[in-house]
Amino acid sequence: MSRLTESPAWKLLQDTARSAASLVLKDLFAATPDRAEALTVSAAGLVLDYSKQRVDAVVVERLIALAAQQQLPRWIERMFSGERINASEQRAVLHVALRAPRDTQILVDGNDVMPQVHAVLDRMTAFADAVRSGGWTGETGSRITDIVNIGIGGSDLGPRMVCEALAASHAGPRLHFVANVDAAQISATLRSLKPSSTLFIVASKTFTTQETMANARAARHWLVSHLGEAAVAQHFVAVSTNLAEVRKFGIAAANMFEFWDWVGGRYSLWSAVGLPIMLAYGPATFRELLAGAHAMDQHFRSAPLAQNLPVLMGLLSVWNSNFLGSESQVIAAYAQRLERFVGWVQQLEMESNGKSVDREGLPVDYRTTPAHWGDVGTNAQHAFFQMLHQGSAMHAVDFILPLAAEHDYPEQQRMLIANCLAQSAALMRGKTADEVRTELQAKGFEGEALASAIAPRVFGGNRPSNTILLARLDARHLGALLAAYEHRTFVASVIWNINAFDQWGVELGKQLAQSVLRAIDAREAAGFDGSTRALLARIPH
């Protein structure tokens, strides 16, 4: 038994959850007319309505007590002040520094990181302005019309998601993203491009990631075969922490945009990894994104726990998963442009909190992160919402809804909003057998036909959800939304006493891929397990 599950705050919540049958949302709303107002917080332009969570004042108080017991305020402060809280890699965790204003001071081992953060931002700005204005051209003097970002994981998901999310205001060059080692992607991308007007960004924190380096070599070979070796300088830039490897690849230091080991890959879109965002939308929009995130950072650092939006999101996810038995976390963004948000959240949350030993290296005896999944509304309603409403397990849902639309179809925006609100209401209230019976009787059902028609139409209800409102999906609100989720992940990790900032779980597969590749090349399968040997024997040569 680890200490967390034996702790007073955890045990108290367990007791509370045992009587959670009494937490019936419909009744709670009926008993407390101002419930929605009481259980809504706002920060940095975001509104979180958590009144459809199965909590009351006592539960919230006990969740806050759990946060206090786990020393959440101290951990927040440790992160913001540059302590090496990523213990297994001995690194500070300072994505918050990437969006802090120029005059801030953040020390790591006594050195202020802010001058270098802003020096890189300024270089990115100059470069983006030059590319966008045509001052930076390709080798033959052609204007850059297409940018290909080659990167994977955090070096792909964040910038790609943001670029799609901001699509309404796109004014820069066309963007392409290549991540997969499956060369179907790079070859299809290259086929659509002209070498003379294409710029490649090779984005890799380590600059050793197999997939990224393979795609970067393919792109380099394509460019050189059309324009010659000398063209690499005008057509390739790197985003990395590893200057030596960048140089080895043939990209000069002058064409590298640096970031640092205290930026986790999945927290890196705010760094030079965000260069595609700046190239597409311009430096001012990128700085708006940073400003929105910074506003959320300030709120997270200073607001009392009970009014702290990311803290509440983190605690509610723990409550649902560890105490109420929610099977997974569904993310339903009612915004087509947030189609890639789920992919970004999946890496953020599941690479951060998909752990089973605590900070002391002891196996945990409680669930850490549940699976995060989802899709955009309204599409999701016609795919998996059936299970959310009537399935045998409970799944907590985050509804995300930007209110103002940037298109010419206001009636469809009203439909989108109506659907979002209707889904969370339906999950909460459900539909009783009596309600179904009355409805069916009004339609003329009676006798056996009526009796057998009732059960499939009953909704249990009482299924918890958050609703997160944004005034609109612009850079500032998006920055705040992403920062809120980053901090939510950190909050849950503090409760679970795990390190959210390493990812050793992806290493074994990477190592084995190298040895399987050698086995394929050498046609020698000795040393592998029976299944891998048998599968290798079926690989055509």
| Catalytic residue set | 351, 382, 510
**Helix H or strand E segment including 240:** strand 236-240
Q: Which DSSP letter does residue 137 get?
A: B
Backbone angles phi, psi at 86, to 5 degrees: -85, 85
Angle, CA of 295, 297 and 300, to the nearest 5°: 110
Which of 53, 204, 369, 497 binds ligand F6P (CB under 6 A)? It is: 204
216 near ligand F6P, judged by CB under 6 A: no
Query: In this chain, which of 45, 154, 370, 377 binds ligand F6P, going by CB under 6 A?
Result: 154
Nearer to ligand F6P, 153 or 430 (CB): 153
**Which residues inside 345-374 make contact with ligand F6P, applying CB under 6 A?**
351
Polymer length in residues for the chain:
541
β-strand pairing of 40-43 with 396-404 = unpaired
Give the contact letters, 268-307, x = binds to ligand F6P (CB under 6 A), - = no: ----------------------------------------
> Given candidates 104, 206, 413, 532, which one binds ligand F6P under the rule CB under 6 A?
206
Binding mask 411-450 toward ligand F6P (x if CB under 6 A, else -) reads ----------------------------------------
Count residues contacting ligand F6P (CB under 6 A)?
14
HEC-encoded secondary structure of 237-302: EEEECCHHHHHHHCCCHHHEEECCCCCCHHHCCCCHHHHHHHHHHCHHHHHHHHHHHHHHHHHHHH
Beta-sheet pairing, 371-374 with 465-472: unpaired
Tokens 């299970």 belong to: 387
Choosing from 45, 138, 153, 314, the residue that interacts with ligand F6P (CB under 6 A) is 153
Whichever of 234 and 503 has its CB closer to ligand F6P, that residue is 503
Quick check: bond before 378 cis, omega within 30? yes
Nearer to ligand F6P by Cβ, of 53 and 352: the residue is 352
Residue 506 binding ligand F6P, by CB under 6 A: yes
Q: Given the DSSP bridges, would you call strands 198-203 and 236-240 parallel, antiparallel or unpaired?
A: parallel
| Of the residues 152, 165, 348, 473, which one makes contact with ligand F6P according to CB under 6 A | 152
Under rule CB under 6 A, residue 155 binds ligand F6P: yes
Please state the closest distance from residue 109 (CB atom) to ligand F6P, in A: 23
Across the strands, what pairs with 332? Answer: 399
What is the contact mask toward ligand F6P in residues 51 to 90, using x (rule: CB under 6 A)? ----------------------------------------
Judged by CB under 6 A, the stretch of 78-86, 201-209, 514-522, 532-540 that binds ligand F6P is: 201-209
Closer of 50 and 270 to ligand F6P (Cβ): 270
Q: Which of 16, 70, 86, 209 binds ligand F6P (CB under 6 A)?
A: 209
Q: CB-wise, 43 or 348, nearer to ligand F6P?
A: 348
C-beta of residue 148 within 8 angstroms of C-beta of residue 163? no
Q: Which stretch binds ligand F6P (CB under 6 A): 72-80, 142-150, 152-160, 533-541?
A: 152-160
User: What is residue 465's three-state secondary structure?
Assistant: strand
Q: Number of C-alpha atoms within 13 angstroms, CB side, residue 401? A: 25
The correct pick among 70, 189, 212, 215 for binding ligand F6P (CB under 6 A) is 212
Q: Is 299 exposed, middle or buried (0-12, 13-18, 19+ CB in 10 A)?
A: buried
Query: Smallest gap, in angstroms, from Cβ of residue 232 to ligand F6P?
Result: 20
Helix 72-80 / helix 283-302 crossing angle, nearest 10 deg? 140
Name the 3-class secondary structure at 152.
coil
Residue type present at position 42: S
Is the distance from CB of 44 to CB of 468 less than 8 angstroms? no
328 C-beta neighbours (distance < 10 Å), count: 18
What is the nearest approach in angstroms of ligand F6P to the Cβ of residue 361? 21
Residues that bind ligand F6P (CB under 6 A): 152-155, 204-206, 209, 212, 265-266, 351, 503, 506
